[in-house]
Amino acid sequence: MELIDGKKVAEGIRAGIARQVAHSIDNEGTAPHLAAILVGDDPASHTYVRNKEKACQEAGIISSVYKYPASLSERELLTVIDFINNDPEIHGLIVQLPLPAHIPSEKIIRAIHPCKDVDGFHPMNLGNMVQGLPAYLPATPYGILQLLEYYKIETEGKHCVVLGRSNIVGTPVSILLSRKSYPGNCTVTLCHSKTRDLDAICRQADILIAAIGQPHFVKADMVREGAVVIDVGMHRVPDFSKGSGHHLTGDVDFGEVSKKAGYITPVPGGVGPMTIVALLCNTLKAFKKEIYP
């Protein structure tokens, strides 16, 4: 079994971004700028945004966080987005999800200018991605592709089973891995809550991507010997031996599955750091006008 070290791969990519940013500061006196909007007090969202801010700082990317109480109205949020859309000094904008229940996230995502939509959630970016045209790829799927590439994992003709059909992970990663490219050319099965014989389908996977949102859902008897197992889950488990009062665990029962897998991502230190660095990659692309010249 080979451990897929997302932390190490992400650090390498981030160092490359930092070099490009430093070069741009030296030569043009400008740096990429990512803005994040955070509404409400969901602790996991605050942690994600803090981690993104820290990663930006380490790469020399300017980051601004716009924090609002959960009582913010839809209209007020749209006004802030409009303001950032029209600020030429801000290159990327993300609105941290989930939003409070009274704000419809689809409407908010559509309000972000597609050129600044570094999360790749806007229908224009998703549509371009589906057609294989230049697009910001959603950060977690993009990070997973970069891991497969780094470890030179063969994907052509492989059966990839994806657990979970979210707009953020399951659906886009299944589309990306079925595209005619590397990583890609997989035969993809997208499983969800209505899938029958789930365990039997998982056992057919050469590549198993768990993004189902249930801690330790994937057990060893669902995994073929030698399979590549990518764990997107991120769950806080109360743990009073830790200063934070919790530890993180994934959708995969790492203890038992790691004995059977050919490659496996740990939690933490697998997909999580890659998601953040993929967002930095997209921010750099936005700054360089690489996707929409």
* Minimum gap (Å) between residue 199 Cβ and ligand GUN: 27
Q: Please give the single-letter amino acid code of residue 287.
A: F
C-alpha–C-alpha distance, residues 184 and 165, integer Å: 18
Annotated active-site residue in 116, 117, 119, 158: 119
User: Is 96 considered catalytic here?
Assistant: yes
Residues 143-202 that bind ligand GUN (CB under 6 A): 168
Beta bridge partners of 228: 207, 263
User: Is 221 considered catalytic here?
Assistant: no
Q: Tell me: does residue 125 bind ligand GUN (CB under 6 A).
A: no
Binding segment for ligand GUN (CB under 6 A), chosen from 71-79, 95-103, 238-246, 284-292, is 95-103
Q: Tell me: does residue 94 bind ligand GUN (CB under 6 A).
A: yes
3-state secondary structure 100-155: CCCCCHHHHHHHCCHHHCCCCCCHHHHHHHHCCCCCCCCHHHHHHHHHHHHCCCCC
Q: Tell me: does residue 38 bind ligand GUN (CB under 6 A).
A: no
User: Is 253 considered catalytic here?
Assistant: no
117/253 with CB nearer ligand GUN:
117
| Interface pick for ligand GUN out of 95, 147, 173, 276 (rule CB under 6 A) | 95
- Contact assessment for residue 167 and residue 188, using Cβ atoms and an 8 Å cutoff: no
Q: Kindly give the residue spans of alpha helices, DSSP state H, lying in the chain.
A: 6-28, 43-59, 74-85, 105-111, 123-130, 139-150, 170-178, 198-203, 254-257, 271-287
* Minimum gap (Å) between residue 52 Cβ and ligand GUN: 9
By annotation, the residues acting in catalysis are 52, 96, 119
Binding site for ligand GUN (CB under 6 A): 94-97, 119, 139, 168
